[in-house]
Amino acid sequence: MLDHKPPRFTSAGFEREKSELQALLTSGLFSRAPSLEHLLTYVCEKYFEGQSENVKEYNIGVEALGRPPDFDQKRDSIVRVEAHRLRRRLSEYYAGEGASHAVHILVPQGQYAPKFVIQSPLETASILEPVPAAAYPPAVLDPHISTLILEPSRSGRRWQTWIALAVALAATTFSAYALYSAKHRRIGIAPKADSPVTVQGSGEVRILAGLADGTYVDSLGRTWLGDRYFRGGTVFHVSNHRILGALDPLIYQGRRQGAFGYDIPLQPGLYELRLHFAEMLYGYLNLAGGGETSRVFHITANGKPLLREFDVIADAGPSTADVKLFKDISPAADGKLHLDFEEMTNEPFLNAIEILPAVRGRSKPVWMVARDRGYTDKQGRYWEPDHYSRGGLLVVRTEEIAGVEDPELYRGERFGNLTYSIPVAPGRYGVTLRFAEAWFGPGKPAGGGVGSRVFDILCNGIALVRNFDIYKEAGGADRPVTRTFHGLEANHQGKLIVSLVPVTNYACINAIEVTDESK
């Protein structure tokens, strides 16, 4: 039986890390999940002992989760399942109760060894987000007093609702706003040297708007720099807010907002630019209410339009991760990429910037597997873990898929009524979908065979295949089926929306590949 009593660590060093682990174990986070407590304790102990290289799936299964010595990780997915649960619980904890902790414990995707990330002062701050005047009915704001003076509004009932909200929030909101703004207008990291930024020599630049200093290592092990190279604007930080479609929600919990821009020095060359947004103020589920048109703004790069009348809610919805992708981006004559954000309706905002070296006319390919951690295939290509998805559930299949060079691509599966909204630049793309039937067929858990699972495949609302039957197309279970579609165009929101719509039972998929076919 697992011992629920939190351990005490006696080895020298790692005092802050040990203190954070002790805080987690005594917080009640694992009160109903002793296996997760045992898993976290095991991997952290190995880290403290300098044995992170021994944190392997087999060792965890046998030494931490009580599996017998003949434990076969290919047939028993317990370690992968528990690691996924642990990552999710840690993410939720540090998005809420643990947001202010000086150290955060992460278990990156594709790894089991933990990372202890030291947080910056801004990142750990928990401050009420100021609500702009535009969130309320017509009002007069007196900056010297914590009072909202309402003028008559359109509807009596709605007017009374706003009064109640104003009375409840006015004192705290505007006093917090005054303190918050005074503090954060002074925050801005001017680079020590006006030289091109690189991360670990890769030429890739990742900047988190709202991270005051230091760096952040995300769930894929990628390093994000603190906010820098900006002009104007203020920083806001939101914790404990659910963000749909985000592989790493913490990326979207800080933002720069207002009249602002960035001047980012780069090495000469061509780049792919990705801008990250998640609207957490406006929208029917958010504090300020509203919806489309509540916040609309323009974005330019080196003085040329990137997006006109951009509305995040119209593009992706409220509280939803939205990535806008642009190719063939290069620095201006002064060696900098100049990004400017101009208000049209309420203040523009930005959560994060990615700048990745690229080839002219081509977006980087997307390789993605339906599993909760990434995978490097036998050709050395890294397949991202499942994201951009709506609907369905992830499962791990233990069956070996015959007749494929890399059966691990079929190890994970998402099933249900599925939609993948994949951000791309304007152009034409090839999409390859990989399938294998592991549930239906003679001798399989659900029995059946031909006709047991049937679904339609659509892209941006246009049917590519009707009544697709994996078992029939493959000639049996545990056999691969690949479907490739060429010349698919991005929609007006810069997305390829791949939908798998059930006809009989659930749709399913194992992996997705997207390649730029633009000339």
Write down the pLDDT at residue 137. Answer: 34
Place 160 in a pLDDT band, splitting at 50, 70 and 90: very low
Q: What is the pLDDT, as a whole number, of residue 201?
A: 47
What is the average pLDDT across 331-336? 96
pLDDT, greater one: 465 or 75: 465
Neighbours of 360 (CB within 10 A): 9
- pLDDT band (50, 70, 90) for residue 246: confident
Model pLDDT, residue 13: 57
Of the pLDDT bands very low, low, confident and very high (cuts 50, 70, 90), residue 124 is very low
Secondary structure letter of residue 184 according to DSSP:
H
Distance, in Å, from the CA atom of 391 to the CA atom of 46, rounded to the nearest integer, reads 37
| Long-range residue pairs from 391-394, CB within 8 A, at least 24 positions apart, any chain | 391/416, 391/417, 391/418, 391/419, 392/416, 392/417, 392/418, 392/506, 392/507, 394/84, 394/370
Query: What is the band of 249 on the pLDDT scale with cuts at 50, 70, 90?
Result: confident
* Residue 347: pLDDT over 90: yes
Which range (85-99, 162-176, 310-324, 327-341) has the least confidence?
A: 162-176
CA dist 426 → 13, 189, 329, 365, 378 (Å): 52, 34, 13, 14, 31
pLDDT-derived band at 128, boundaries 50, 70, 90 = very low
pLDDT for 194 beyond 80 = no
pTM for this predicted structure: 0.64
Which pLDDT value is given to residue 38? 87
pLDDT at 120: 53
Say which DSSP state 189 is in: B
Nearest residue to 511 via CA among 498, 495, 502:
498
Tell me, what's the pLDDT at 171?
34
Confidence of residue 74 (pLDDT cuts 50, 70, 90): confident
Give the pLDDT score at 109. Answer: 78
Reported as a pLDDT band with limits 50, 70 and 90, residue 174 is very low
CA atoms of 519 and 516, how far apart (whole Å): 9
Tens-place pLDDT, residues 424-465: 999 999 999 999 999 999 999 899 999 999 999 999 999 999
Q: Are strands 507-509 and 412-416 parallel, antiparallel or unpaired?
A: antiparallel
- Regarding predicted confidence, which is higher, 225 or 55? 225
What is the pLDDT confidence band of residue 509, given thresholds at 50, 70 and 90? very high
Sequence-distant (6+) residues with CB within 8 A of 279 are 286, 295, 312, 313, 316, 317, 318, 319, 320, 322
Give residue 76's pLDDT: 84
pLDDT over 50 at 180, yes or no: no
- Indicate if the pLDDT at residue 147 is higher than 90: no
Contact by Cβ (8 Å): 401, 479: yes
Confidence label for 221 from pLDDT (cuts 50, 70 and 90): confident
Per-residue pLDDT averaged across 260-270, rounded? Answer: 96
The pLDDT value given to residue 336: 97
What are the DSSP calls for 126-146, one per residue? --PPPPPGGGSSSEEE-TTSS
How high is the pLDDT of residue 118?
Answer: 78
Contacts of 291 (CB under 8 A, 6+ apart): 282, 283, 284, 313, 318
Are the C-beta atoms of residues 243 and 321 closer than 8 Å to each other? yes
The answer, yes or no, to whether residue 176 has pLDDT greater than 50, is no
Residue 388 CA to residue 498 CA, distance in Å, equals 10
Mean pLDDT, residues 343-361: 95
Residue 314's pLDDT is what? 94
Rounded mean pLDDT, 499-518: 96
Q: What is the pLDDT of residues 363-402, one digit of tens each?
A: 999 999 999 888 999 999 999 999 899 899 999 988 889 8
- According to DSSP, the β-strands at 495-504 and 454-459 are antiparallel
Taking the C-alpha atoms of residue 54 and residue 46, their distance in angstroms, rounded to an integer, is 8
What percentage of the chain has pLDDT greater than the value 70?
A: 82
pLDDT, mean of residues 318-341: 96
Is the pLDDT at 504 greater than 90? The verdict is: yes
pLDDT bin (cut points 50, 70, 90) of residue 202 is low
